[in-house]
Structure 1
Amino acid sequence: MKRLHLARLRPRALRSRLLIPLLAVVVLAGAGGAWLLLRDDEPAAAAPTTATVSAETLQQTVTASGALAPATTADLTFEVSGTVTAVLVDPGDEVRKGQKLAAVDDEVLAAELDAAQSALDAAESSMSEHSSDGSSEEQIAADEAAIVAAESSLEEARVALDSAVLRSTIAGTVTAVGIEVGDSAGSGSSGTSGSTSGVGAMTGTSSSTTSDGASGSITVVSDGQFQLDATVSSSDVEKVAKGLQAELTVSGVDEAVYGTVSEVGLVAETDSTGAAAFPVTIEVTGQRDDLYAGTSADVAIVVSQRADVLTVNSRALQTDGDQTYVEKVTDTAKGTTERVDVETGETSGMLTEITSGLSAGDVVQVPGFTGPGGGGGDEGMQQRMQEMMENGGLPGGEPPAGGFPGGGFPGGGQ
């Protein structure tokens, strides 16, 4: 019987051991709930600060965004017909201005050059004979014309033979090779242009006409020189002009990048929202090795700039109906202020122009930020929490009215 009596006591002892951690959980939960119930509903306010009225340079800007592109792109094609005999570059290769890129068979072109030289020699010989024979002035004039024509044909033949070799017109990187050995090259056109943009500006030349045969090209883009292709709204485009300075914020680049407006488009495009927007090209200043084509960037175009403008921190300005005013600090030691009505002008960033009411050096109060949180602060909350812990961890020191569900402690403890 004694062993049976001990066995009956063990479950009760187990419940007692479980009761201690469960009570700890209840106390903590009650404390958190009490904080939510007892905290003040008034928002917390940071202490006010001060700002000094000063003369600054005030800028007005027009903002836009876009993507970087190479400043110059050269799409190069053969200007003579022939079969491609050599392709000397691959995409990614660095090339110099004038470097050979590809070549076509020049056998026919060399023969044409020889023929043109022979024609010139014959024309000169004929004129020499006629001059010796005392031929008429008309004959001498005809001989002179024949020599001029032969010289022109010879020069064209020389250019054609030189054109059998395709050379880069700029220094940069090969980005595309659209020809292979054995292809038929035609008398296409080679051109150098600014990177594709809405303004469609061409900075190079083109020659000849497109051949009926297959005509490929090799594309070379400039290295280290970039432009930003962006758009500005129709309401801002009248403020933007060629030559204005701009500051770019480029994705992945910590320091500011500077540039100049090089083109402003005259024909509107449609942006992603369906609104009219005008293309603007910004030429990035200097050689940049930390920029990459395709990178997104934001730009602020400086459309006006004034120096020595009296300004104040915009957060110091307050309103009373239609009147704008500030709290001017009259005694720094005591922190006393007086209301001063002011007149304002332009705003730039966090600065607002003051046209009357203040002078350089005046100190004004900047109201503190007001945000959510217990107005009683940490000290008040700690006091309430201390009272709760002294009373058993629950508001008022007593369990909820009616006790815990089931009439006792969790787990059936007594």
Structure 2
Amino acid sequence: MEYEAKAIGEEDRPALTGPEAPARRRRKWIVAAGLLLLVAIVVGFLMSRGGGEAPAAPEGGAAGNSQVPRVTVMVPGRESVQSVVTGTGSLAARREMPIGVAGEGGEVTRVLVEPGSWVREGQVLASVDRSVQAQTAESLEAQVRVAQADARIAQTELDRSQQLVGRGFVSKADLDRKTATRDSARAGVRVAEAQLAEARARNRRLDIRAPAAGLVLTRSVEPGQIVSSGSGTLFRMAMGGQMEMRVQLSESDMARMTVGVPAEVTPVGSTQTFRGEVWQVSPVIDPDTRQGIVRVALSYDSALRPGGFATARILSGARAAPLLPESAVLSDAEGNYVYVLDAKNQAQRRSVTVGEVSDAGVAIADGLAGTERVVVSAGAFLNPGQKVDPTLRKTGG
């Protein structure tokens, strides 16, 4: 019975070789593959976390050095820097001569010069009609001849009386009267000659003449024009052709000006520069504009036209100061500054006062002694106290 029951129990268990066997094997493989995939994912995750962390570099190692910025520095020293004052102003004749009618005037008959003409002293610029004045002069010349004839007659009569007075034919009183007549006749000659000279002088003043040698700048008269002493200026001249620039400068710049310092003048619209020197510094300051006038003497040149506008660079002196390239000088709301390096190669901000700015660089008027190591490049990317790797540049580089 037991054998039968056991046999019957074994028959009741599903057989592995039946139609369900392949399905069971597939399920086992799928479960095993899922477990293997899960294990692989876990292992890969753990490995990726462990490999992503770079080992810490030792302090002062190569990694630390790569983070220190490299900058260029220089020791500027002190150089002689020209102090240059720049200003604007107008060109003018250094000694301008307005010329008008000095005599009675009349109708202009000839104008002999044009603007731009060079004339000598006393040269006739224009002539005024003198037909009436010429007749007057001729009449006075005749009066002079009459007076001279009267004087000769008076002198002859006096000579005869002097010869007869010793014989008793002429009294002493008659001799005195003839002497007085002779003296009166001579005086009449002098009066007539003086009147003639006056007329001739008046006639000469009808010629409008150059008071000195120079350059004619303007002409305001034409033939046929009626002129008189009230006609105003007919010609304007520059004495000797000398020019000047009248530079307007601030009160502070005026204090640095002295007579004789060189200057360079460039007219507007021109690239040509003219050299001159300061010949006069105004003793007064305009109370409204707080500016003064510095007059720069210039030699004649056709490009220098009175009334034109120009700029001037006046060299007011020289001083010793550190000279830096423009890239070294930075600026912010607090003012101008540079970065200097301390003994530990750490950047330190230093406030400076900028002086002259030229093609050679920026002169530092205050804030640097010239012995510091000044950052000349990459300073805009630094912060105070930041350590840097400096590269020294020569001052002339």
Task: Tell me which interval the TM-score lies in, with the shorter structure as reference length.
Answer: 0.5 to 0.7
Q: Give the alignment partner of residue 281 of structure 1, picking from 295, 300, 305.
A: 295
Q: Which structure 2 residue ranges, 5 or more long, are not aligned?
A: 1-68, 159-174, 382-397
1:177 aligns with 2:220: yes
Of the three residues 183, 206, 212, the one matched with 1:164 is: 206
Partners of 1:343 and 1:327 lie apart in 2 by: 10
Once the two structures are TM-superposed, the CA of residue 258 in structure 1 deviates from its matched residue by 2.4
Aligned with residue 376 of structure 2, among 363, 366, 370? 366
Distance 1:68 1:313 in 2: 35
Q: Kindly provide the amino acid, as one letter, of the partner of residue 295 in structure 1.
A: G
How far off its partner does 1:341 sit? Answer: 12
Give the TM-score taking structure 2 as reference length.
Answer: 0.54
Contact 1:91–1:177 (8 Å) recurs in 2: no
Q: Secondary structure at the match of 2:127?
A: strand
So what's the TM-score if we normalise by structure 1? 0.52
Residue 112 of structure 1: aligned partner: 136
Question: Superposition pairs for residues 111-130 of structure 1, below 5 Å?
Answer: 111-125=135-149, 128=152
Residues 84 and 356, structure 2, Cα contact 8 Å, conserved in 1: yes
Larger radius of gyration: 2
Q: Does 1:312 align with 2:323?
A: yes
Q: Percent identity?
A: 17
Q: 1:60 to 1:46 in 2, by over 3 A?
A: farther
Tell me the alpha carbon deviations over residues 37-59 of structure 1, each in whole angstroms, 9 at most, x when there is no partner: xxxxxxxx995364643532532
* Structure 2 counterpart of 1:291, one-letter code: L
Alignment RMSD: 4.8
Aligned to 2:309: 296
Question: CA, structure 1 residues 342+125, in 2 after alignment: closer, same or farther (shift >3 Å)?
Answer: farther
Q: Distance in 2 between matches of 1:141 and 1:300?
A: 72
Deviation per CA, 1:237-292: give whole Å up to 9, x if none. 4444544433323323324322233444455546xxx53333333222x2323333
- Distance in 1, Cα, partners of 2:76 & 2:105: 76
Mapping of 1:108-257 within 5 angstroms? 108-125=132-149, 128=152, 133=158, 149-169=191-211, 170-173=213-216, 175-181=218-224, 183-186=225-228, 188=229, 210=230, 215=231, 217-222=233-238, 225-257=242-274
Match of 1:53 among 58, 73, 77: 77
Distance in structure 2 (CA, Å) of the matches to 1:345 and 1:149: 80
Q: How many residues are paired up?
A: 284
Tell me if 1:69 matches 2:81: no
Aligned equivalents of 1:356, 1:219: Cα separation in 2:
58
The answer on 1:102 being equivalent to 2:126 is yes
Q: Deviations over 1:55-110 (max 9, x none)?
A: 3253263x431122344544332222243142435865635335543322212222
Q: For structure 1, which runs of at least 5 residues remain unmatched after alignment?
A: 1-44, 189-209, 331-335, 372-414
One-letter amino acid matched to 1:105: D
Which whole-Å CA distance do the structure 2 matches of 1:66 and 1:354 have between them? Answer: 31
**Any idea what SS the aligned residue of 2:197 has?**
helix
User: Which residue matches 1:80?
Assistant: 103
Q: Find runs of 4+ consecutive structure 1 residues off by over 6 angstroms.
A: 136-144, 336-346
Report how far residue 294 of structure 1 moved. Answer: 3.5
**Conservation of the 8 A alpha-carbon contact between 1:344 and 1:353:** yes
8 Å CA contact 1:263–1:281 kept in 2: the answer is: yes
Counterpart residue type for residue 112 of structure 1: T
User: What's the CA shift string for 1:344-375, capped at 9, x where partnerless?
Assistant: 9993332236899557xx9854244638xxxx
